Structure 1
Amino acid sequence: MGQYWKFFNLSKRQRMDTNGGPYWGFLRCKQGFLVRCITIPYPNPKLERHLKRLSSTPPAINDKGLLSLPDDVLLVLLELPDISLDDLAVLAVTCRRLFELSYKMIKDCNEIKSASWYGCRIVCMGDCALYEDPPPSLLNAEERAIIDAKIAQDEYPGYGGLNLLDYESTCLYRGAFTYTYSFLQKFEFDADREAFEAVMGVAFPPERTDWVLCNFNKKEYVRASAIAKLSGKPNDAQPFLSRCRLDLGHALLTRICWSNEAPVHTPPKMKMHRGLWVGDRFCITTMERVEDIQEWKDVSSQVVRDLVQIYRKQFGKDWLEEVEGDVLAYDHAEYYWFGSDGDDWVASTGQYTRQRRPSIC
């Protein structure tokens, strides 16, 4: 017997269907959304070139109009709630001074929007989960009150009751690539448009080899390189491991599933449906950006061991051939999630597939 599974973001009251449907298919499939929504980007690589142009521009307007105000007053204006991220970016591209004052706000917004589930409580819940069963820490008092009220009105508490919470839409943000051609036409000059794209851009440098999946609650992490090695492609570009059958999404799935029934074809003793990380907070980032990472625990070998058990159970003696095989044809659609402003192959593939897949916003 199989069951359906869904991803739930309890912090933002958002949810998303898994790729692969019921039974054990979601364990075999790439979960592009799950990976992309917690991966912290880097700035657009074109930004540095833009800054060099700014620094070489004569400061002819530095003492005129708005720029005649001191920095502390300008910061107050830039932080006004009525100023949108777009407005900030337009101001930032005008001169070096406004860029330096506003870019931290822009960078923080880009990271939060791009990794929209960063630091959120996440669970992959099966539809066989009973409301009384999940760990007490999974739901807070407000969430339980909402579910209890709807149960009192005879609504069915599927997915451990999580289906009765109110949910918002889940959107994918792609930095400058998010903006449509019509919006970019607002810029009279190509140089201004290119500067806007450089400031707003997000990218995931494929040359970095220190990407990790982090659990903030447990202070544990999983190295992308360990998953790539298991998949027989140790040099695959991180963090998305687009040419590997397995990735950091599979690593996360081994520990965030919860239900009263185990996923089909998983080792009984492993109890994957009682995930050790259920409802914890996560991100995917590089080790250099994690504070006190040396004090965290590397659980890569444990996760690799679990994935080996799962695939041995599913495929028997052919498990290694499956794990080291090429990405399945239907998983190429998951590249949709990886569109960004980078120049690497994965980013360009994601930009292309966006044209063939409707937005989920």
Structure 2
Amino acid sequence: MNQNWIAVDLDERVCLHGGGKLKEWFWSDPDCVLDALRVPDTGETINDLIAGYSAVQRAPLFRLPPELIDQIFHQIIISSGAYDARLLLLALTCKALLACARRHIVRRQMRHHAPLAGHRLICIGEGATTLEDYPPSMLATSEAEDLATSAGDRDGETSLYSRATARWRRYSSRRPCSGSDAAGVTCGLGMAGLAADLIYRPSAVSRMSLQDFVRFQALTTPLPRAVESGDRPRVLCNLSKQEYVCAELGNDSRHITLWQMLLACICWTSSASLTGEMGGDNEQLYRGRWAGDRFAIRTMDLTNMISWSAGDSDGAWKDVSYEVIHLVKSLQSIATIH
């Protein structure tokens, strides 16, 4: 018996892809979802900007301790709400301020350009109907209680699938916003990732030198989608388990994409009897090794620098590309999923 599946973001409570039989949409990549997982290399850009000689700053502002300057940047973020260019403009005043603002900018750019990064993702089958059917510790206590109080498809059962399909919105990268950084929201930005204030009011940048504007563009422009190979290969990182898969290895193997590698590892349902389309009794196909974990797409050279991964990890990352590619190939060999 085949069942319906849907990929969801548990943190934002949005449906990412699917809604029908898995074989109907497994091989179609939702580009907007992959884009929303790609973390821009803002930290590395800032490192390049502050490298080299730094002039001594004698302005009264720099008599303040670094903790107070850090609070100034924090208050700018709080007061602005949505994406705001003031944080970047102040930071670019000099290298000292840029260094102080580094963590705020990196976090802000990640939230803006990669709104799904670090979120819990799972592709849930409609066969999972009770709390016991879901991965252990996937749901917070409040989430489990909320789900337990709602009626599912059948009396006495709860269903994350039915809740998501009935109440959660579809993820969209171009949804209108109301001043918040919700997933899929483009807050205050126009074309090419530049703040709308700087596009539609030329006077806003009339006082900036060409060098300052180039630096500003370097911080506001996200990493191009096409950067997937060469000396900066992209990897899909499981932040919960500190495992990763390489995009270039998938491209060399029957053109397997990062989305297909991700989806193959986050599928989850309650019973093998409901998964004939996924290879019968093969448990790894219906009990995904990564179901409910947190993810991001980054460059290979930055993988070991991710500071917002599992708190109890020892810092060692494991390459599981070949294991995951083998899993996807096993799906390709099953005629019923094509």
Shift of 1:94: 3.1
User: In structure 2, what is the equivalent of residue 241 of structure 1?
Assistant: none
Amino acid at match of 1:74: I
Shift of 1:276: 1.9
Matches within 5 A, 1:25-174: 25-43=24-42, 62-64=57-59, 66=61, 69=64, 71-80=66-75, 82-84=78-80, 85-132=84-131, 133-151=133-151, 157-160=158-161, 162-163=163-164, 170-171=183-184
User: In structure 2, what is the equivalent of residue 9 of structure 1?
Assistant: 9
Contact 1:19–1:30 (Cα < 8 Å) also in 2: no
User: In structure 2, what is the equivalent of residue 196 of structure 1?
Assistant: 216
Amino acid at match of 1:258: W
Determine helix, strand or coil for the equivalent of 2:281.
helix
Amino acid at match of 1:146: D
Consecutive unaligned residues in structure 1, runs of 5 or more: 232-243, 320-361
User: In structure 2, what is the equivalent of residue 335 of structure 1?
Assistant: none
| Cα deviations by residue, 1:190-223 (Å, 9 ceiling, x for unpaired) | 7365443222222154433443222233332222
Amino acid at match of 2:246: R
Q: How many residues align?
A: 298
**How far apart in 1 are the matches of 2:138 and 2:40?**
28
Moved more, 28-37 or 205-214: 205-214
Determine helix, strand or coil for the equivalent of 1:171.
coil
**How far apart in 2 are the matches of 1:173 and 1:155?**
40
Contact 2:9–2:119 (Cα < 8 Å) also in 1: yes
**How far apart in 1 are the matches of 2:101 and 2:6?**
38
Determine helix, strand or coil for the equivalent of 1:82.
helix
TM-score (norm 2): 0.70
User: In structure 1, what is the equivalent of residue 257 of structure 2?
Assistant: 247
Distance 1:162 1:121, change over 3 A: farther
Matches within 5 A, 1:336-347: none
| Cα deviations by residue, 1:89-115 (Å, 9 ceiling, x for unpaired) | 121233333323223321232123322
Query: Which of the residues 280, 288, 299 maps onto 1:286?
Result: 299
Matches within 5 A, 1:211-230: 211-230=234-253
Amino acid at match of 1:200: T
| Cα deviations by residue, 1:286-309 (Å, 9 ceiling, x for unpaired) | 333233999433222222222212
**How far apart in 2 are the matches of 1:183 and 1:157?**
49
Matches within 5 A, 1:316-331: none
TM-score (norm 1): 0.66
User: In structure 2, what is the equivalent of residue 346 of structure 1?
Assistant: none
User: In structure 2, what is the equivalent of residue 275 of structure 1?
Assistant: 288
| Cα deviations by residue, 1:86-141 (Å, 9 ceiling, x for unpaired) | 32112123333332322332123212332222222211112343124223422232
Contact 1:41–1:115 (Cα < 8 Å) also in 2: yes
**How far apart in 1 are the matches of 2:47 and 2:145?**
50
Determine helix, strand or coil for the equivalent of 1:120.
coil
**How far apart in 1 are the matches of 2:58 and 2:315?**
47
Query: Which of the residues 299, 317, 333 maps onto 1:296?
Result: 317
Distance 1:21 1:290, change over 3 A: same
**How far apart in 2 are the matches of 1:118 and 1:284?**
8
Contact 2:6–2:19 (Cα < 8 Å) also in 1: no
Amino acid at match of 1:141: T
> Over aligned residue pairs, what C-alpha RMSD do you find?
4.0
**How far apart in 2 are the matches of 1:98 and 1:50?**
12
**How far apart in 2 are the matches of 1:230 and 1:130?**
36
User: In structure 1, what is the equivalent of residue 333 of structure 2?
Assistant: 312
**How far apart in 2 are the matches of 1:179 and 1:275?**
39
Moved more, 130-139 or 276-285: 130-139
**How far apart in 2 are the matches of 1:72 and 1:126?**
48
Determine helix, strand or coil for the equivalent of 1:268.
coil
Amino acid at match of 2:252: K
Consecutive unaligned residues in structure 2, runs of 5 or more: 170-181, 305-312
Shift of 1:229: 0.8
Distance 1:129 1:298, change over 3 A: same
Determine helix, strand or coil for the equivalent of 1:147.
helix
Shift of 1:156: 8.2
